[in-house]
Each structure stands twice: as C-alpha cells, then as structure tokens.
Amino acid sequence: MSTSENQSPVAVPKPVVDSAREASRITVLTGAGMSAESGIATFRDAQSGLWKDFDPRDLASPEGWSADSDLVWGWYRWRAELVRRSEPNAGHVALAQWQQRAHVDIATQNVDDLHERAGATVLAHVHGSLFEPYCSDCGTRASFDDGAADAPAEADQRVPPPECPLCGGLIRPGAVWFGESLPEAAWEAAEHAVREADLVLVVGTSGVVYPFAGLPAIARSAGATVVEINPVETEVSDMADHRWRTTAATGLPALVAQL
C-alpha cells in the first residue's frame, strides 16, 4: 500500500498514474469532498455544515416530512438554489474529460448536479438528487423548476410543496432520507460498476455512510485496484491500495493530464 502527499498540481504518484493508464474500465465513487471546492457545504462541517441549525430528523426523514412538509420543502429548495449558484470545479471537469476517452463510470453520493453540468454522465446518484423530485404518494417523477424567483432566502423559510398533477399528493424532494432504502436501480448500477472495474477511485468520501461505504471493499474482493483521493485519513483508507492525500479539484486534473 502506498500513501503520497501531493506537493504540486503535477506531482501525481506513479502507482496512481500507472493504474489509470493500464485500466480498461474505471469506476469513480464521489462523495461530499468532490463538491466542497465548489462551495457546497458538507454535512459534517461543524461551522458551515448543512445541519448546523437543524436536527436532521426534522429535515431528512419521513417523520420530518409528515410533521412539517413546508419546512422540509423550503429547506431543500434553499439547498437547490445554493447548488444552482455554484459551479463545477476542476475535478468535475477533469472527470468529464476523462470520460471522453476512456470507460469511466461515475457513482456518487452527492445530490447536486455538478458532475452533469461539467459535461459528465453519472451512472448512479445513489443517494438521489435534489433535481429529481417525485410524488410522495404515487411516486410519479415531477419536473424541477430551477428558477430563482421563489427560492427561499433563508434555510428555515417554509415553502408549501407543489401537488402531483396525477393524484394530488405532495411532491417531495428527490434526495434519500435517513431510514429510507436506496434507489434500487442506482444501487445495483453502482455495485455492478465496481465489480466490473479494473480501477476504482474513491474521491472525497468519508466512508462512514453505508451501504455506499462498502463499495470499495466489494471492488477489492472483485480484484480491482482501489485508489483513495482525499486530503485526510478516512474509513476508506485501509481498503485502498494507494492513498493520495490531495483534493478532487487538485488531484483529478493532474491525473487526467498525464493519461
């Protein structure tokens, strides 16, 4: 196992470059750290985290939705507006470029759309998406109005959710809530991608949220080389063949430039 510190934007560890050059099928698993350099707050940041003023059970659970759907819908609209104002970072762009010349599958925990806006195709949004709301009663997908006119200015601003045009039920956010099962198709696609990959990059994820956190171990058991790209030690580190202590926006462009 190797661990490398990145001293410059081009100081890509040789084992990482070699693995990327030799792989015929790559899967990239991305977490909150992937979008942090675009200004998207992570849940675990004590100062600017998305949960710092709220109990997660009030905002991201079926119980919270039942208790105060206006608060929940308003908070998710506020989050979507924060994402809309953000831009993909150099790491997102690098993955999109890599996809143009290699078989690169992306499975993400992130509920933003920054991969797509950078030009990449996402195989699986394993934890759902802010931009794919659906009816809480019949499950029908709803269109997402991304206009800023009615976006809440504050995180705790209540906004009544729209009604489903088919059954009249309330349209709920498309993100997976605590206690809910992952979208079956997305999970199966992500699991298949790591089983079939020669190389799995684990970028910006803490490795504590299961079952997504179990994907690197599945990859190892299937024979893939696992590379962690993260500035800090995580629960993934012991599962990785190579650990590169850098950020997504620094490391990924440097890696792709050498392929």
Q: What is the pLDDT of residues 237-256, one digit of tens each?
A: 999 999 999 999 999 999 99
Domains of the chain are 1-40+88-131+182-259 (3.40.50.1220), 43-85+134-172 (3.30.1600.10)
> What is the rounded CA–CA span in Å between residue 43 and residue 233?
17
115 is catalytic: no
pLDDT tens digits, 159-188: 999 999 999 999 999 999 989 999 999 999
Tokens standing for 207?
A: 């490795």
112 known ligand binder:
yes
Is 220 known to sit in a ligand binding site? Answer: no
Choose, from 125, 127, 192, 242, the residue flagged as catalytic: 127
Q: Report pLDDT for 168.
A: 95
β-bridge pairing 242-245 and 199-203: unpaired
Instruction: Give the pLDDT confidence of 36-91 residue by residue, as tens digits.
Output: 999 987 655 533 445 566 676 778 899 999 999 999 999 899 889 989 999 999 99
CB 138 within 8 A of CB 169: yes
Name the token pair of 132. Answer: 């794919």
pLDDT band for position 8 (50/70/90)?
A: very low
Query: Does residue 9 have a pLDDT over 90?
Result: no
Residue 167 known to bind ligand: yes
